[in-house]
Amino acid sequence: MTLSGKRVAVLAENDYEDLELQYPLLRLREAGAETVLVGPVPGTYSSKHGYPAKAELGAEQVSASEFAAIVVPGGFAPDRLRRYPAVLRLVKDAHDQGKVVAAICHAGWVLISAGVLKGKVATSTPAIKDDMRNAGADWVDREVVRDGRLITSRRPDDLPAFCREIIAALEEK
């Protein structure tokens, strides 16, 4: 298993996009990573379609140093996630420590609020491209974009490319 020994946090909040949380979670496990669901607080969060995801830990209970990567799913969850200072600190610290930070769809909002986009090439759902640009990103419309250890993607159809890029980045260190 290529990612054996790597620990990855997947963030959860209500109204997450089902596939954008579940697909990376399962794909990274399949590649050998230990995946941990992290919410603002421990508990069960519901997807846009009512599918439950149980966060074992809350953002205040963890540190970026415990993880090789942070994955932020889209849906409407990012608009909720970015309201929690502990979530933003986790994402910013992971970025500043050179960890993989991966965000898909509306998850760009978390990157914006964490202050990690200035000078980065990134993508997102086109609905937030102006927000991304206003935060200092060079926004492009591609299925997956990698700028250093920051990986961004647009929508559920892009999940295969998104997960391949996360795995490739994690295999490098």
The answer to whether residue 171 scores a pLDDT higher than 90 is yes
Q: Is residue 2 part of a domain?
A: no
Cα 83 to Cα 92: distance, rounded to the nearest angstrom = 14
Q: Say if 105 falls within a structural domain.
A: yes
**Predicted pLDDT at 98:** 98
Residue 100: what pLDDT? 98
Q: DSSP characters for 135-159?
A: TT-EE---SEEEETTEEEE-SGGGH
pLDDT of 173 over the 80 cut: no
**Triad 124, 127, 131: Cα angle to 5°:** 75
135-154: average pLDDT:
98
How far CA 71 is from CA of 5, 129, 134, 148, in Å, comes to 17, 19, 22, 15
Distance CA 30, CA 60 (A): 27
pLDDT at 11 over 70: yes
Per-residue pLDDT, averaged over 140-150, amounts to: 98
% of the chain beyond a pLDDT of 90: 98
Diameter over CA atoms, the chain: 40
49 is catalytic: no
92-103 pLDDT tens trace: 999 999 999 999
Residue position matching structure tokens 């910013």: 92
Helix (H) or strand (E) holding 108: helix 108-114
Q: Pick the catalytic residue from 27, 82, 92, 106.
A: 106
pLDDT digits (tens, 9 = 90+) for 37-59: 999 999 999 999 999 999 999 99
Number of domains in the chain: 1
The mean of the pLDDT values for the chain is 97
User: Which sign, positive or negative, has the C-alpha torsion 121, 126, 128, 130?
Assistant: positive
Burial track 28-41 (b if 16+ CB lie within 10 A, e otherwise): beebebebbbbbbe
The predicted structure's pLDDT at residue 1? 65
Mean pLDDT value of segment 138-144: 98
The tokens describing 151, both together, are: 């990986």
CATH code, 21? 3.40.50.880
Q: Is residue 58 part of a domain?
A: yes
Q: Note the pLDDT tens digit of each residue in 75-123.
A: 999 999 999 999 999 999 999 999 999 999 999 999 999 999 999 999 9
Residue 23's pLDDT is 98
* C-alpha torsion sign, points 46, 106, 68, 151: positive
Range of the domain at 152: 7-172
Burial class (CB in 10 A: 0-12, 13-18, 19+), 93: middle
Give the global pTM. Answer: 0.97
